[in-house]
């Protein structure tokens, strides 16, 4: 009897932990989706035109291959705010859009810290 109850408690604990992890995951996923959409088409001009990023299936060859330089989120934001060399700045993007792009590009390229950023 006692054993059974503690087994129940353990199971409930597991289910609870999984549910809350999933809740956080959904919000994170929405941001990643927004970032990907901006990357592939809605940013003007779209990042995909100039950059190769495997996750976005883009093969732009004007700028560096993001899978290779693996920028972290801060580096992406800096490039978007200030522009860099032949890359234009993106002053019309909102903070939320900048954050979404920074997160998407850093994670998709492998430059982000996956566990913390997810
Ligand atoms: C018109 C072409 C073009 C577009 C559009 C463009 N980039 Fe770039 N990007 C470049 C070029 C060129 C560089 C290299 C600049 C240099 O190092 O002189 C670059 C560099 C970068 C870097 C590296 C920055 C660093 O610190 O080395 C990141 C990250 C980046 N771009 C992300 C993006 C994202 C995200 C978008 C879309 C919002 C985007 N780029 C749109 C051309 C572009």
Is there an atom of ligand 1 within 6 Å of 65 CB? no
59 strand-pairing partners = 52
pLDDT at 27: 82
pLDDT at 114: 54
CB atoms within 10 A of CB 50: 16
CA distance 43 to 69: 21
Q: What percentage of the chain carries pLDDT values higher than 70? A: 76
List, for residues 60-85, the tens digit of each pLDDT value. 999 999 999 999 999 999 999 999 99
Q: Given a cut of 80, is residue 24 above it in pLDDT? A: no
pTM confidence score: 0.82
CB atoms within 10 A of CB 42: 14
Is there an atom of ligand 1 within 6 Å of 91 CB? no
For the chain, what are the domain ranges? 2-117
CATH class of 2-117: mainly alpha
């Amino acid at each position: 009897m006692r054993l059974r109850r503690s087994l129940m408690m353990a199971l409930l604990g597991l289910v609870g932990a999984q549910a809350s992890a999933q809740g956080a995951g959904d919000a994170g996923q929405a941001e990643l989706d927004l970032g990907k959409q901006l990357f592939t088409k809605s940013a003007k001009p779209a990042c995909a035109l100039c950059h190769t990023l495997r996750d976005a299936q883009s093969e732009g060859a004007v700028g560096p291959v993001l899978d290779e330089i693996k920028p972290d989120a801060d580096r992406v934001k800096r490039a978007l705010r200030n522009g860099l060399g032949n890359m234009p700045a993106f002053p019309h993007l909102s903070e939320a859009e900048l954050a979404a792009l920074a997160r998407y590009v850093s994670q998709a390229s492998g430059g982000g810290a996956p566990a913390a950023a997810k």
